[in-house]
Amino acid sequence: MPIIADSVFNRQVSNVRTNQLSLEQLRALAELNAPTERQTQDAGGQGQQFSQGRQVLTQEDVERIAFYDDLTPVYNFRYLLRKLDREVRRSKRYNRPLSIMIVAVGGLQKIQAEFGDQIHLNTLIFVANQLNAASRTDIDMVARYGEDRFLLMLPETPGSGAVIVADRIRKKFLELPFEHNWHKLWVETSIGIAYFPAHGTAPQELIAKADLACDLVVERGGNGTAFCP
């Protein structure tokens, strides 16, 4: 298989959410080991008196910011990329299988237009939970890859095994809608698959080819799976 040029990879991931920290979070991280006082408003009284308080990030807060997506119950792309690099090196050393999948979720824009931002977010969280349920939590990893895409890393899984997982995920969403009040909100998935070493021996190759395969499925109308040709 030819190696996809770096420019293609950069184009494919240019819109990836890197979950960068806000200024408030950066300040809080800086204060973690040497917290400084800030002013907080006391409740009660007409005079709006202020007292000194402290805002300190706990270890749990630090881990959440460093490892997890800020909207959905999955890892952020930056952290998964680090883990993928490690898994690729392990696969090279021990000749072990490794697959990744890019899952594009169709129908989210329609849900957002019809029901608003909060229900759109709730549907996205529902999708993330279903992807977590479909993976081996002690081995696999699920991360947010874009506004409507997720990335699944499947160590110890050959391409044929990834196809089985992908088809199971696709059928699951055809059978299980997200329920909001009396509405049943349906989404469908378009899944691109790449596996080591046939589709690449570096993380960027695998991601780029899985992403391109996902695009092929979307262009064909969605609700399917594909390898990058």
CATH number, residue 165: 3.30.70.270
Give CA–CA dist 205/69, Å, rounded. 23
The domain in which residue 36 lies consists of: 20-68
> Residue 140 to residues 103, 137, 151: CA-CA distances in angstroms?
14, 6, 11
Same domain, 54 and 88: no
Same domain, 103 and 207: yes
Q: What is the three-class DSSP state of 134?
A: helix
Q: How many domains does the chain have?
A: 2
Same domain, 105 and 128: yes
Give CA–CA dist 132/98, Å, rounded. 18
Q: What's the CA angle centered on 142, arms 94 and 104, to 5 degrees?
A: 115
* 1 falls within a domain: no
Q: What number of other Cβ atoms are within 10 A of residue 179's Cβ?
A: 10
Give CA–CA dist 155/98, Å, rounded. 5
Question: In a structure prediction context, what are the per-residue pLDDT tens digits for the chain, which is 229 residues long?
Answer: 333 334 444 444 433 333 334 455 445 545 544 433 433 344 444 544 444 444 566 776 766 677 889 899 999 999 999 999 999 999 999 999 999 999 999 999 999 999 999 999 999 999 999 999 999 988 999 999 988 999 999 999 999 999 999 999 999 999 999 999 999 999 999 999 999 999 999 999 999 999 999 999 999 999 999 998 7
